[in-house]
Every structure is written in C-alpha cells, then in structure tokens.
Amino acid sequence: MIISTMRRNVWILAVSALVLLGGCNRVGLLNAVTIDERAGERVAHDIQYGEGERRSLDVYAPRAGGENLPVLVFIHGGGWSWGRRQDYSFVGRAFAARGFVTVIANYRLTPDVAFPAFLDDVAAAIAWTQANAGAYGGHATRIYLSGHSAGAYNVVQVALDQRYLEAAGGDPSAIAGVAGISGPYDFLPLDSDSTRAAFGSADDLDATQPINFVRADAPPMLLLTGRDDTSVPPRHTDALAARLQEAGAEVETRYYDDADHGETLMAISPTFRGRAPVLDDISDFFLGLHVAAD
C-alpha cells in the first residue's frame, strides 16, 4: 500500500512538472493520474462527424443517465498544430460527472490545413452535436461550448461569427453559452510560429480575430485565465471582455492567482483541482444559464 501510494505521488509530480514545463502538449498524461470520476463515463467514441481521421469525436455522459441534460462541446488546444481528443478524457468525465452530456472533438491541424479549416471542423462538430445530442439524453437545442487555448479561440470565434455554424448546417441560436479558458482573442500582428502557420495565409487578417465579431446578441460568455499566463497573457481576456461589455453582451471573467497557461486546464482534473476552481466556475455558469432558460 505504501509503495502504491509512493508510485502514485511520483506520477503526480512527474505529470505536474511536464505540464508546467511543456504547456498542454503533455496533457494526455493527466489521464494516467486522474482519479476515476465514476459518475461520468464515455458512452461513444471514434464517431466521424465528417470525412477524415481528424474529424472525429467522443461522447461522455452521466452514468445515471437523464433527459434534457445540458450539452457541452469541448475543443482542445495545442497551437492549432497538435492535440488529440483521447488525451482529454479527464475533461469529458469531469463534466459528465457534473451532469453534462459532453462531446470532445478533434479538428484538422496545421501544417495540413490553415484558417479557416479548423473553424469549419469545429462548426461541423457542433452541428453534429445539435443533431445527435438527444440520443444521449442531451438538450439538443441548448448547446454550451468550451475550450482551452487554441480551442478557446475556436469556440469563441465560431460562436461570434455565425457564418461557420450556418455553413455547417447548424443553428447558431442553439449556442446557449461559451466558456473560453486561456484563449487568444486579439493577436495581430502575427508574432509567433503557431499563429503564422495557422493564419498567415488568410486574405483578411482582421477576419481571423474574435474581438472583431463582438455583437450585442452574442451568447453569454465566461472568460477564464491565469494571472501568471505568459503563453496567452490575460490581456486577451481583458480585451474581449471589455469589447463585449461595450456592446451590451453578457460576459463574466475569472482570473486565477498563481495559475499559468497549463494550470487552468490541469485544474479540471481531480488530481490538480485545488489549483483553481475552473470546473466549478464553468459548471456553475452553464448550469445557471440552463436553469434560467427552463
């Protein structure tokens, strides 16, 4: 028993160091040390929402089941160049344990594609969710979106610029709320390898920026960030929140002291949940919207 506990503690320390040093590119290791959230389970996997290996998703749901449950689509980060839905099962189980039917989706990455292909994919995954969430007990006309880092950019941009979801055959009015975790929303000029690879070929760079699509009737948004984030500084949350407020849209912010870019994601895992109340804040925000809509 002592040896087992020691091994587990070594794993926790190792994963913590890897994630802190490498951002979310080591995030899959969180699944190895995450305490099993038995109230949530994966109920479907490797579902294709479009052609190609990267257009795939997994579905998680409360083990107890239910009807008209809130539905969450979560999109991973990775600088638009890496990331896999399989590495985010800890996110799927965490939100499923909170009562959400949760979809974790992949999307195409650079250098194989560039803007706006990954947004087209995210929109297609959302449209699939709207069409199929009811089969898993979800409220198909009330969809919530969340993502971390580049994934936060993706969901915020698709939520604000309705053309993507309309082109995918989805219903923009079904987006009931958005939670962006440590996302970049205002990053011109392009000053990093990842943004140049993803957006450098765009004909209209202004059209790549979420902050330029703010509107008064935007879905309610919760923007979360760590005050120690040097990868995507809190100024991105500041700027988008201020622009939404000026437009008269509903927006809330959460700033976590002593949390960096990777830790805002790590905090969703039970192992590191004490770092910041990210899971509580997002769950409470979405459930509050869900109850208010009934």
Q: Across the chain, what does the average pLDDT equal?
A: 90
Instruction: Kindly provide the b/e burial profile for residues 248-276, where b requires at least 16 CB atoms within 10 angstroms of the residue's own CB.
Output: ebebebbebeebbbbbbbbbbbbbbbebb
Q: How many CB atoms lie within 10 A of CB 46?
A: 10
Can you point out the beta strands (E) in 211-292? Answer: 221-226, 251-256
Alpha carbons 229 and 172: distance in angstroms, whole number = 31
Alpha carbons 291 and 46: distance in angstroms, whole number = 31
Residue 34: its pLDDT value, please? 54
Q: Which residue has the tokens 């059209």?
A: 207
Closest by CA to 286, choosing from 259, 257, 250, 256, is 250
Residue 294: its pLDDT value, please? 81
Q: Does residue 245 surpass a pLDDT of 70? A: yes
Q: What is the DSSP string of 127-193?
A: HHHHHHGGGGTEEEEEEEEEEETHHHHHHHHHHHSTHHHHHTT--GGGEEEEEEES-----PSP-SH
Alpha carbons 51 and 208: distance in angstroms, whole number = 24
Cα 187 to the center of its chain, rounded Å: 19
Q: Which amino acid is at 35?
A: I
Q: How many CB atoms lie within 10 A of CB 139?
A: 20
Residue 11: its pLDDT value, please? 41
Closest by CA to 129, choosing from 86, 165, 87, is 165
pTM, whole model, 2 decimals? 0.90
Q: Does residue 97 surpass a pLDDT of 60? A: yes
For 114-170, the pLDDT digits (tens) are 999 999 999 999 999 999 999 999 999 999 999 999 999 999 999 999 999 999 999
Domains, the chain? 2-293 (3.40.50.1820)
Alpha carbons 176 and 214: distance in angstroms, whole number = 16
Where does the pLDDT of residue 38 fall: very low under 50, low under 70, confident under 90, or very high at 90 and above? Answer: confident
- What token pair was written down for 30? 């969180």
For 55-74, the pLDDT digits (tens) are 999 999 999 889 999 999 99
Q: Does residue 98 surpass a pLDDT of 70? A: yes
- What token pair was written down for 132? 């199929």
Q: How many CB atoms lie within 10 A of CB 36?
A: 11
Where does the pLDDT of residue 4 fall: very low under 50, low under 70, confident under 90, or very high at 90 and above? Answer: very low
Q: Which residues contact 70 (CB under 8 A, 6 or more apart)?
A: 99, 100, 101, 138, 139, 142, 144, 286, 287, 290
Contacts 24+ apart (CB under 8 A), 235-239: 235/186, 236/183, 236/184, 236/185, 236/186, 236/187, 237/180, 237/183, 237/185, 239/185, 239/186, 239/211
- What token pair was written down for 67? 């009807």
For 9-24, the pLDDT digits (tens) are 434 444 444 444 444 4
How many residues would you count in the chain? 294
Alpha carbons 179 and 201: distance in angstroms, whole number = 28
